Amino acid sequence: MKYLMAFAVIAVFLAGCCPARKKVVTPVVPEETSETSIATPAAGTPQAPEAVTPTTATPEEKQVALAGGTTPQAAPPEGKEFVEPKGAEALVLKPIYFDFDRYNLLPDARKTLKEIAQYLLDNPKVLAVIEGHCDERGTDEYNLVLGEQRALSARTFLIGMGVSPKRLFTVSYGKAKPADMGHNEEAWAKNRRCEFKISKPQ
């Protein structure tokens, strides 16, 4: 019995002297997901510009189209050939330009129209077609009307300078014939214009 008691005491003593085993924890590394793997563009990296697309006609645009129509109000006569001015005439019969969504004449346009009026007064047998053009923004319907309004603004000015209305005709191409095929403000500014074609007597 004494020996059993002694053995039990020794066993308890030895158990208390043994160091406890430490639990090893392995860190969990999160798997890379599709969200974390998408590269984020660095600050200052230029982004591709959005494509410019024609807009849908607004109620205001439809009202303008219904009021103004898309048929030229002073169409050129059939059988007459109108050509681009050449040489010295091209220096006078230059395009005039407009602000965005406007058909009022700018100071530079008025200056050019005065020179055109003087040319037509000096050449009384020459007929002229005024072509109205627009940039690519907006609907086809709206731009046809806006182009006609621009052409009519130029025609009205020339009539006011003494040119006979029977010699002046208008047509609108809307955005169908851009002078510059670009899709930025520089190109749009070149496309908001009126051009002049002339017909001389045979």
Q: Is residue 88 part of a domain?
A: no
**What pLDDT, on a 0 to 100 scale, did the predictor assign at position 79?**
73
In-domain check, residue 85: no
pLDDT in tens, 173-185: 999 999 999 999 9
HSE value, Cβ hemisphere, 13 Å, CA-based, for 92: 18
**Amino acid 39: pLDDT:** 38
pLDDT of residue 36: 33
Does residue 2 sit within a domain? no
In a domain, 102, yes or no: yes
Residue 51 counted as domain residue = no
Q: Report how many domains make up the chain.
A: 1
Q: Which two tokens stand for residue 5?
A: 């008691």
- Residues spanned by the domain of 134: 98-199
C-alpha span between 131 and 199 (Å, rounded): 14
pLDDT at 10: 55
Domain annotation covers residue 176:
yes
d(CA 127, CA 171): 14
CA-nearest of 83, 149, 88 to 115 is 88
177 inside domain: yes
Q: What is the CATH number of the domain that holds 165?
A: 3.30.1330.60
Give 10-residue mean pLDDT values along the chain (202 residues): 52 52 46 37 38 39 43 64 93 97 96 98 96 95 93 95 94 94 96 96 76
Closest alpha carbon to 176 in 150, 139, 202 = 139
Q: Which residue has the tokens 């020179």?
A: 115
- pLDDT the model gives residue 51: 29
